[in-house]
Amino acid sequence: MEPKHSHPWKLNESEAIRLQKEWASKVIKEDQLNDVQYVAGVDVAYDPHSEKLCAAVVVLDTESLQIVETAIADDQGHFPYIPGLFSFREIPPITQALKKLNTTPDLIVCDGQGIAHPRRFGLASHLGVLFDVPTIGCGKTKLIGEAKEPGKTRGDYAPLVDDGEVIGNVLRTQDRVKPIYISIGHRISLSTACDWIIKLSPRYRLPETTRQVDQVVRRALAGLR
């Protein structure tokens, strides 16, 4: 799997912010999905004692939610740890892992934000635009915005709003379980993104894409130590 677009990665903070503002206009917020047979989860884990990091991709069959393929890439941190600019640190190793795949995912769920971001261009949007693939931002915590508490039943949600704009939904994936934060990444609507996260979360708070890739990347990072 290869990127469809590119940009320089050796950027300072102000240059990275400028790129986010420019590329945010490329995000497509409507459904442009084909038949979704394979869905992937991506994640990056960091070694707390060094600049080592590890990225992983796990591809699942959308009907069985069984793992079809995994890919791992080791790397060093090449961009500083700056809130709001994580994609510049994490996408290079994620790209390396995606390039190793034999199975091309039709949809990617990112452990992070999409347009629920100060410049409407979080990791899920950045990755989606680069690869021109539908992506969903699925965060465990909120980055920005305000929302009421959603209902306590699986599937209940409340709009996440920033500066008068709905930038995501706070979604309850299981009854009486802490909600998660869903936002458009690229080539998908917010309602469809939430439908997919519910489908991918049959038993647990987090979707299987996130749960499975988290386990893979943690084991891989432990093997580097």
- Distance separating alpha carbons of residues 208 and 199, to the nearest angstrom: 9
pLDDT of residue 48: 77
Annotation-wise, does 106 bind a ligand?
no
Annotation-wise, does 111 bind a ligand?
yes
**130 token code pair:** 């680069």
- Distance separating alpha carbons of residues 224 and 165, to the nearest angstrom: 43
- Distance separating alpha carbons of residues 171 and 150, to the nearest angstrom: 7
Cβ contacts of 181 within 8 Å, gap of 6 or more: 113, 116, 137, 138, 139, 140, 141, 142, 143, 160, 168, 169, 170, 171
Cα distances (Å, whole numbers) of residue 83 to 87, 89, 184: 10, 11, 19
pLDDT of residue 96: 96
Domains parsed from the chain with CATH numbers? 13-224 (3.30.2170.10)
Neighbours of 85 (CB within 10 A): 22
pLDDT of residue 76: 81
What's the whole-model pTM score?
Answer: 0.95
- Distance separating alpha carbons of residues 172 and 214, to the nearest angstrom: 20
Q: Could you list the pLDDT tens digit for every one of the 225 residues in the chain? A: 999 999 999 999 999 999 999 999 999 999 999 899 999 999 998 887 777 889 999 999 999 999 999 999 988 878 888 889 999 999 999 999 999 999 999 999 999 999 999 999 999 999 999 999 999 999 999 999 999 999 999 999 999 999 999 999 999 999 999 999 999 999 999 999 999 999 999 999 999 999 999 999 888 888 765
- Distance separating alpha carbons of residues 204 and 173, to the nearest angstrom: 7
Neighbours of 66 (CB within 10 A): 9
Cα distances (Å, whole numbers) of residue 107 to 2, 12, 132, 173: 15, 30, 10, 19
